[in-house]
Amino acid sequence: MSYLKAARQLPKKLLNQFPEEVSALSNGSPFLDVRSPIEYAKGKIPNSINLPILEDAERESVGKAYKQHGKKIAVEMGHNLVSGQVKLSRIQAWKNYVTQHPNVNLICWRGGLRSKIAQDWLAQSNVQVARITGGFKALRNCLIAILDAIALDNRTVYVIGGKTGSQKTVVIKRLNNSIDLEDLAQHRGSAFGAYIQKQPTPITFENELAVKLLTHQQQHIVLEDESKTIGRLAIPDALFKKMKIAPIALVKVPIEERVNHIYNEYVKEPSQAGASSEFLSQHYLQALDRIERRLGGDRHSKLTRIIKDAFSERAEIDHQDWITALLEDYYDPMYDYQIKQKESRIKFIGSPDEVTEYLKNLR
């Protein structure tokens, strides 16, 4: 997406405040982040790679020197720590990346000393690289402003509703006017929806979502109907307020198809990817424990027994038993109650294919 296209859908105040950042983010420029690994792990910019100028222990030592002796001593220590072969290897790693990504932007925390030193070292090797003057902090502030700006956005938000296992995510992935919140959050949204891998940090999730909103070129933004939180991550307030009043396209699927879809996604596919039966059993038993109070002791005990038996015997029918019981005893009654509160917003009801076509042809 070009800067000009992005500019048409953003408030002028935001464009005036973050022209450099909006340009880099909307044009899809990669970012070479020279912060330490621990800083990068707390939150990163989409399309970035971490090739630090200081490793974690080195940064900690320099930080202590700065507090105790001031900037001059700290800078000298940094140059001593990153010298000789260590310096050459880090410059070479940057050069290798820049060769493959010539439109890269250098960033550190505030676009200050570390990225400027990296830029200078590369220039000494006849490699010219652009630098975001405000660094990660400026990019982050820009992305927060984009998330807030959705409240004033003239694009219409639609949400896809439907009972658990109704293939809502399948519909999302078929559309070019959708944003897959669960994919960004690495979580399916329910008590049983945790992926095997960990969720991103809140900062990384928000940054990814903001870039998706910035570069979304359609008049309608289609999202899956979610609660405020997806796992441990929260949907930003401005977007969630729009979702709460958005028209709904409701997917309806027979329970047998829903059970089979859940079995494939939650049991068969993870098993084929290498997850052991013991791991999956513990993973879902822990999820079951999180909803014990809502299930009640008897149903919780019954489902615990069925899940243990299913994974120990590896019998597909047994998996269908616990999935069906969980839908009928927990998810479906809860969804029936929730959808009654939203009936006035339902604009279309159909199969996954029918809902896909409806949302593709929005006017």
6 pLDDT band, cuts 50/70/90, is: low
Give the pLDDT confidence score for residue 143 in this predicted structure. 97
Q: Are 20 and 132 in contact (CB under 8 A)?
A: yes
Q: Each residue of 250-300: pLDDT tens digit?
A: 999 999 999 999 999 999 999 999 989 899 999 999 999 999 998 899 999
What pTM, to 2 d.p., does this model score? 0.93
Give the pLDDT confidence score for residue 162 in this predicted structure. 96
Rounded CA-CA distance 346/120 in Å is 58
Q: Any residues with CB less than 8 A from the CB of 303 and at least 6 apart, and which? A: 288, 295, 322, 325, 326, 329
Give the pLDDT confidence score for residue 246 in this predicted structure. 97
**Angstrom distances, CA of residue 107 to CA of 49, 90, 207, 282:** 10, 15, 15, 41
Q: Each residue of 10-35: pLDDT tens digit?
A: 888 888 899 999 999 998 899 999 99
Q: Are 223 and 160 in contact (CB under 8 A)?
A: yes
Rounded CA-CA distance 145/132 in Å is 17
Tell me the residue length of the chain: 363
Q: Each residue of 104-131: pLDDT tens digit?
A: 999 999 978 899 999 999 999 999 999 9
Q: Each residue of 176-223: pLDDT tens digit?
A: 999 999 999 999 988 888 888 899 999 999 999 999 999 998 999 999
Instruction: Give the per-residue SS3 of 21-72.
Output: HHHHHHCCCCEEECCCHHHHHHCCCCCEEECCCCCHHHHHHHHHHHHHHCHH
Rounded CA-CA distance 140/137 in Å is 5
Q: Are 233 and 196 in contact (CB under 8 A)?
A: no
Give the pLDDT confidence score for residue 315 in this predicted structure. 58
Q: Reply yes or no on whether the pLDDT at 3 is more than 80.
A: no
* 142 in catalytic set: no
Q: Each residue of 139-162: pLDDT tens digit?
A: 999 999 999 999 888 899 999 999
Give the pLDDT confidence score for residue 344 in this predicted structure. 97
Q: Each residue of 299-344: pLDDT tens digit?
A: 999 999 999 989 886 555 578 999 999 999 999 999 999 999 999 9
Q: Which of 108, 179, 246, 267 is catalytic?
A: 108
